[in-house]
Amino acid sequence: MPQPLNSPLNRAGVIADITGPVLTDADRDFIAQPELSGLIFFARHYESPAQLKQLCADIRAQRPDLLLCVDQEGGRVQRFRDGFTALPPMMTLENLLHEDEAAAIELATELGWLMAWEVRCQGVHLSFAPVLDIERDVSRVIGDRAFGHSAGTVITLATAFVQGMAQAGMAAVGKHFPGHGAVVADSHKDLPVDERSRGALEYDMQPFQQLMAQGLLAGIMPAHVVYPALDPLHTAGFSRLWLQDILRDGLGFQGVIFSDDLTMAGAASVGSYGQRAQAAMDAGADALVVCNDPDGAQQVVEQVRQQCHEQGWQHLDLSALQGNPDALHTEANQQRADAVRRLLSRF
């Protein structure tokens, strides 16, 4: 199993994206900057498994330390499709769990393994998964991305899914701390506010807490949501109370805190990209994720550079989360993948 990367304070890096499915000269200049700790891929970066494998190799030839990431959850959030197995939304597992718990746990494990194995075979190290939000049938953005409607269901199924990921050598990043499933607004487009009590929020934190206690999460991604019961002024991703007092000190999390995308509307209230980056660092985020805006990404890079130069911070090295690529391409793994695909055809 990939080991969590201990991420002390006073360390920061950027995870951004490139232009398209091949490296351009401008991309090469961009990724040469030491403030960049990783890249994230989207559908526009993908044409075929062979093309993706070549793109990853080209990136590694220049920056072997970069963590190559994607959102490959399944269902409607699956960036690589043609040539990859169509993964079902994780909510599919909830009904099965009620009918046959052992079968649901087995399928969750196999889905986690297959997702991670297919991605890693092409050179991508990490998918930002699992979603640990508890669905309340109100969210515009979570919905069937969640594993279920209760903390117990999410814990059971997400634990199995992460264990499957680990069998393929992939680390896990739980999102969206402390829980995004009870607000209607989509933080990509709006600034959601969750007005529930502290007790309700503590219930939603249970999946994060339980998986952290088992040592299953190398990273956490906080939500761009305001929770006035604890911090009325900041979203969780910009809140020192949430990231330091609760996540680090209270829950003892020692892994990497990844910001959610700093281009999202839920982050825009903080100000410019430089201000968003600084607010995330001040709150305790280690890896600053900024997507689909090259100018914004460069501003975040420059803010991290300033932080390192003026405050003596270190560049965040995420290479420990890349995992070991050995033994991916084996006959046993291919047979396992075929078996999982046959299993999926029954659902």
* pLDDT (tens digit per residue) in 293-343: 999 999 999 999 999 999 999 999 999 999 988 889 999 999 999 999 999
- With CA atoms as reference, report the closest residue to 256 among 314, 316, 313, 329: 316
* pLDDT (tens digit per residue) in 332-341: 999 999 999 9
3-class DSSP assignment, residue 182: coil
pLDDT at 216 over 50: yes
* pLDDT (tens digit per residue) in 154-174: 999 999 999 999 999 999 999
* pLDDT (tens digit per residue) in 204-213: 999 999 999 9
247, two tokens: 């996540």
How far is 119 from 81, CA to CA, in rounded Å? 11
Q: What is the pTM of this model?
A: 0.95
Name the CATH superfamily, with its identifier, for domain 11-344. Answer: Glycoside hydrolase, family 3, N-terminal domain (3.20.20.300)
Confidence of residue 265 (pLDDT cuts 50, 70, 90): confident
Catalogue the active-site residues. Answer: 188, 260
Confidence of residue 191 (pLDDT cuts 50, 70, 90): confident
- With CA atoms as reference, report the closest residue to 10 among 309, 276, 297, 212: 309
Q: Which residue has the tokens 């003892």?
A: 252
